[in-house]
Amino acid sequence: MKIIYFSWLKETLGTSEENVRPPANIKNIDNLIKWLSAKSTKHRKVFLKSKSIRCAINHQIVNKSSKIKNKDEIAFFPPFTGG
């Protein structure tokens, strides 16, 4: 599974993307966030603000209860504004 980070998430983690293989019990974005949070101190810091983080699966904006698969590309980003 490819995870892509944007904006301050990328800055905090020090990387724009990573490839992960979550356990089989990780079935949705919310589970993935909890699993990633346990991965490192930097991940925990990023996902402490998970209520303000938006996500996409394969370029489609989704909510945190959306189902995921191992071949998905998951993106995490802050809310964006128009202008």
10, amino acid identity: K
- With beta carbons less than 8 A apart as the criterion, state whether 65 and 51 touch: no
Nearest to 77 by CA among 31, 18, 61, 35: 61
pLDDT tens digits, 27-79 = 999 999 999 999 999 999 999 978 889 999 999 999 999 999 999 999 999 88
> Domain map of the chain by residue range?
2-77
The CATH number of 2-77 is which of 2.102.10.10, 2.60.40.10, 3.10.20.30, 1.10.10.10? 3.10.20.30
Q: Which residue has the tokens 């490192």?
A: 40
pTM exceeding 0.85: yes
